[in-house]
Amino acid sequence: MPDTGAARLERAFREAGRPLFVPYVMGGYPDLEASRRHVQLLARHADIIELGIPFSDPLADGPTIQAAGQAALDAGIRPSDVLAIADDLRGGPPVVVMTYFNTVIAHGAAEFMAEAASHGVAGLIIPDLPVDEAADVRAAARAAGVALIALAAPTTDDARMQQIGAEAEGFVYLVAVTGVTGGEMSMDDRLRALAERARRHIPVPVVVGFGVRTPEQAAQIGQIADGVVIASEIIRRIGDAPDAGAADAAVDAFGAGIAEALAR
Amino acid sequence: MSVNMRFGPYGGRYVPETVIGALDELTDAYERYRDDPDFRSELGVLLGHYVGRPTPLYRARRLEEAWGLEDGLWFKREDLCHTGAHKINNALGQVLLARRMGKQRIIAETGAGQHGVATATPSALVGLGCRAYMGRTDMQRLRLNVIRMRMLGAEVTPVDSGSGTLKDATSEAIRDWVTNVDTTHYIIGSAVGPAPYPEIVAEFQSVIGIEARAQMLEETGGLPGTVVACVGGGSNAIGTFRGFIDDAGVALVGVEAGGEGPAGRHGASLALGRPGVLHGSYSYLLQDDDGQVAEAHSVSAGLDYPGVGPEHSYLRDIGRVRYVDATDEAALSAFLECSRREGLIPALETSHALAYVRDRAAELRGGGPVLVCLSGRGDKDVDQAGAALGIDASA
Ligand SMILES: Cc1ncc(COP(=O)(O)O)c(C=O)c1O
């Protein structure tokens, strides 16, 4: 019996010896091959890779991720293309896929989970599936050995934190800001108190994301949480690069900088 | 009494965790005020003296004659509501709720601009800031409503993503809400979205059907044989149908946007979609094999939406309501015919319901009186319909 996704994720936290770096790559942006290369480059520095399947109506995402996803959809990228990227990472950092609920149920949740598992995907993040609606999908994920990663937010009260914690597998993704992706977080007492509250109620590791841009911010988050997710900033750097070679170099350098900041 | 969260398998709350607390808060506030005498009396007084309710029931004798509907053709005149459509029934109720919840800011999405105007109006009345999100394409075709919203003091924010229509405006409004949820109440404009919105909107709109049923009994001594309403997200339709749902002998028909016809683009989610999740609820949806939401099309911005309210999905599945569609072309000709024969310029949305009645008059004949929800007036549509029909202001 191979390891479940939850077991692989939990091992990643145990073995890292520092706060985890979880970079996000939008599958198929700016094209499929480039996103494969970016995943490989980031895997040198990362502990878990978050791989995005583009969706037509991403409610939790700001303009940067929206535009990247739309570009991928315009180029004809399909969920199966993105899941196949995970094949390249077997033996490397575990992959968690992030997509919206309608992508998961379009062919049936069980079918989606089985396909994800067949590509070695360890976990799944569905930002529009709150814990109260997730029972069936969680069962399908468990049956396939894929961890359903829950999200918690600044507006989540203690009772819900406990509910989220009771069902949590792998890790919990704590949203740093009241808002969508792509803004800018700031380290303050509110965020510290939020992370502390989340860790009190949630027995699995807690990773913080949304609005993290710099190595300094990553290091600050490393002091209050078990890991940090960075998404829009990576996409922005790819978009700003003059050509594919420069984008690869930018991704590699950015990943190295974050990993270094977290190791300090 | 608790609030409906699902209609059969449809509905639910498929939204980011960040707004779950606000949905709970709205559910609590609605449960608390729904039957609160002070709330109902404030709403009732404003519906009477500000909106102009009850709206009349009108017998459209000239169309009745032209279409051969001897049992009678009746219009429930929501076009006579202040601001020109049924949308204000919901917007007013929700603004009063938002004020009781202590919210400082109102946001809304709008397609035809009609819900935007309907929300900007009571926001001005009670002094709450209001921002409406509207697709760029819709801002061009519904110019007049954009100006009205701005005159009323609302900010109108153009949305460029997707096709620049109602779906995209709704996504952007939800993103605003996710970001400003502590201070802001989101007034959704149709019977869609995460629970408890579909129930709240349906209940505020049910005044249409409740009045219409009593008026039909008074005017005709009986109930209509068939009740017809257009369906975008489905708020005027559900509000009308709720008055008649327990009257098993009354046939209920919802008319969706047939757009360019069966081979082209359209907005007929219930006829041609399959269940999926958009904007927080599980319901019939136009989508591709991978679950990517399709772009809808309709000549009327208010029906140009790939989803539909969850209660309609349920009523479709159990067979209580029949859902059909009318094309752009049929709606435009019905628009003109109603204007010329009744002196009533209907909204393009409403014209879809009229087109159905005209084109299926043979089936409706002898089946008892036909009641149509005349959901809105067509002032907002004169630019667009004029261009399509070759009518302009040049000498
Ligand atoms: C006059 C009128 N009727 C109908 C609609 C469609 O909405 P619903 O299906 O929610 O009634 C609109 C929407 O803008 C409208 O303005």
CA trace torsion B301, B303, B306, B312 (10° rounding): 160
Q: Which helix or strand (DSSP H or E) is residue B41 part of? A: helix B37-46
Q: What is the pLDDT of residue A137?
A: 98
Chain B nearest-CA distance from A249, in A, is 30
Question: What is the rounded CA–CA span in Å between residue B388 and residue B143?
Answer: 16
* Shortest distance, CA A114 to any CA of chain B (angstroms): 16
Ligand 1 centre to CA of B111 (Å) is 9
B105: confidence class by pLDDT, cuts 50, 70, 90: very high
pLDDT band at B364 (very low <50, low <70, confident <90, very high): very high
Which residue from A234, A231, A227, A245 is spatially nearest to A15, judged by alpha carbons?
A227
Q: Give how far B177 is from chain A: nearest CA, Å.
A: 8
């309710």: which residue's tokens?
Answer: B53
Angle (CA) B277 B282 B283, round 5°: 100
pLDDT tens for B41-86 read: 999 999 999 999 999 999 999 999 999 999 999 999 999 999 999 9
**Of A78, A107, A180, which has the smallest distance from its Cβ to B175's Cβ?**
A180
- Supply the DSSP string of B161-222, one letter for each residue: STTSSHHHHHHHHHHHHHHHTTTEEE--SSS-SSTTHHHHHHHHHHHHHHHHHHHHHHHHSS
Biggest alpha carbon–alpha carbon distance for chain B: 61
- Tens digits of per-residue pLDDT, A18-41? 999 999 999 999 999 999 999 999
Reported ipTM: 0.97
SS3 B325: strand
- Catalytic-residue membership of B311: no
Q: Do A105 and B19 touch (CB under 8 A)?
A: no
Contact B16 A60 (CB under 8 A): yes
Per-residue exposure over B78-95, b if at least 16 CB sit within 10 Å of its own CB, e if not: bbbbbbbbbbbbbbbbbb
Say how far apart CA B43 and CA B119 lie, in whole Å. 15
For residue A132, give the DSSP letter.
G
Order of strands, edge to edge, in the sheet holding B281-285?
B6-7, B10-11, B281-285, B274-278
**Six-digit token pair at A62?**
């700001």
Which pLDDT does position B163 carry in this prediction? 87
- Burial, B6: exposed, middle or buried (Cβ in 10 Å; 0-12, 13-18, 19+)? middle
Tokens linked to A242: 């003059």
Q: What is the mean pLDDT of chain B?
A: 97
Instruction: In whole angstroms, give the CA distance from residue B219 to residue B222.
Output: 8
CA B66 to CA B311: how far, in whole Å? 34
pLDDT interval class at B117 (50, 70, 90): very high
Residue A1 reports pLDDT greater than 70: no
Place of tokens 């919210």: B103
Looking at residue B1, its pLDDT comes to 53
The average confidence (pLDDT) of chain A is: 97
Mean local confidence (pLDDT), B142-149: 96
Q: In this complex, how many residue pairs, one in chain A and one in chain B, have their CB atoms less than 8 Å apart?
A: 110
| Domain residue extents for chain A | 5-263
* B189, B89 contact by CB (below 8 A): no
Distance between CA atoms of residues B181 and B103, nearest Å: 9
Q: Which of B79, B235, B281, B311 to mutate to test the pocket of ligand 1 (most atoms within 8 A of CB)?
A: B235
Is residue A61 among the annotated active site residues? yes
A5-263 belongs to CATH 2.60.40.3500: no
Across the range A226-251, mean pLDDT stands at: 98
Beta bridge partner(s), residue B257: B267, B326
Distance CA B287, CA A153 (A): 29
Q: For residue B395, what pLDDT is reported?
A: 79
Identify the residue among A59, A65, A156, A208 best suited for mutation to test binding to B, counting B beta carbons within 10 A and taking the highest: A59
- Residue B21 has its nearest CB partner, among A59, A78, A155, at A155
The answer to whether residue B2 neighbours chain A at the CB level (below 8 Å) is: no
Nearest CA in chain B to A178: B179
Task: Decide if A260 contacts A218 (C-beta within 8 A).
Answer: no
Which among B268, B347, B337 is positioned nearest to B305, based on CA atoms?
A: B268
Reported as a pLDDT band with limits 50, 70 and 90, residue B162 is confident
Element (H, E) at A35: helix A32-43
Which band of pLDDT confidence, cut at 50, 70 and 90, is reported for residue B356? very high
Q: Does the pLDDT of residue B317 top 90, yes or no?
A: yes
pTM score of the predicted model: 0.97
The mean pLDDT value for A210-239 works out to 97
pLDDT (tens digit per residue) in B169-214:
999 999 999 999 999 999 999 999 999 999 999 999 999 999 999 9
Q: Comparing C-alpha atoms, which of B211, B190, B197 is closest to residue B52?
A: B211
Question: Which residue minimizes the CA distance to atom 10 of ligand 1?
Answer: B235
